[in-house]
A and B are shown apart, each in its own frame.
Chain A
């Protein structure tokens, strides 16, 4: 069975700092990878996704992620965070045509002014 692991459960950083959140998965076949964000009191929103092609994916709000197949990784990055990036970030994958998402445990990111 496939699984998704996120290395950091809680990250605190200052505004303008760079952010990188780790995500690794275990699955031997083809995967589709996602990063979702959940702002306080709001629903999950899609930040970006990777299905195929260029392994460097750019998403909304200045986020990007890189798929490294050899490392089974899909790390999320943002060069300079803002206070409004305070949220919980979830890495997820699908492996079937139904699109059933398997989520990582999530990383709570707190950006201090």
Chain B
């Protein structure tokens, strides 16, 4: 089956610093990648959709300047949380979908804690 990895799995940073999270599709080409955020005991909320080689499309209420998304290749997308604050602490999950494929495959998530 299709495998999606995320790195790091867990990160702790100081307020005001930036954090980069990587999402990789290991055995397929991901033409579309999605970034979600999951608060404790809540559902996943879609943050943005990115297609390889083009700018990400952000959901309403998501600050594009704060959550920078780059989908530079067919196997890698990155999410950078800029100038992180404690309220950005959350579980960030990516998913990937190949061309012509109707199923998204999810990464294991990254737990971000901002002190």
| Highest count of chain A CB atoms <10 Å: which of B4, B45, B106 | B106
Q: Is the CB of B32 within 8 A of A98?
A: yes
Interface size bucket, A side?
Answer: 10 to 19
A42 interface residue, CB < 8 Å from B?
Answer: yes
Known: A44-B93, A98-B49. A103 touches B43 (CB 8 A): yes
Q: Is the CB of B43 within 8 A of A106?
A: yes
Q: Is the CB of B103 within 8 A of A49?
A: yes
Q: Is the CB of A51 within 8 A of B102?
A: yes
A109 vs B95: C-alpha distance when bound (angstroms) = 24
Classify the secondary structure of B's interface with A: strand
Known: A42-B108, A43-B106, A43-B108. A100 touches B43 (CB 8 A): no
Q: Is the CB of B93 within 8 A of A101?
A: no
Interface size on B, residues (CB 8 A): 21
Q: How many A-B residue pairs have CB under 8 A?
A: 46
Q: Is the CB of B102 within 8 A of A90?
A: no
Known: A43-B93, A49-B103. A100 touches B108 (CB 8 A): no
Q: Is the CB of A104 within 8 A of B103?
A: no
A13 interface residue, CB < 8 Å from B?
Answer: no
Residues of A within 8 A of B49 (CB): 98, 100
A46 interface residue, CB < 8 Å from B?
Answer: yes
Q: Is the CB of B93 within 8 A of A32?
A: no
B104 interface residue, CB < 8 Å from A?
Answer: yes
Residues of A within 8 A of B104 (CB): 46, 99, 101
Pairs across A and B, CB under 8 Å, 22 listed: A32-B102, A36-B106, A43-B4, A43-B93, A43-B108, A45-B106, A46-B103, A49-B103, A90-B44, A98-B32, A98-B49, A98-B57, A99-B97, A99-B104, A100-B46, A101-B34, A102-B46, A103-B44, A103-B45, A105-B42, A105-B43, A106-B42
- Chain B interface residues (CB < 8 Å from chain A): 4, 32, 34, 42-46, 49, 57, 93, 95, 97, 102-109
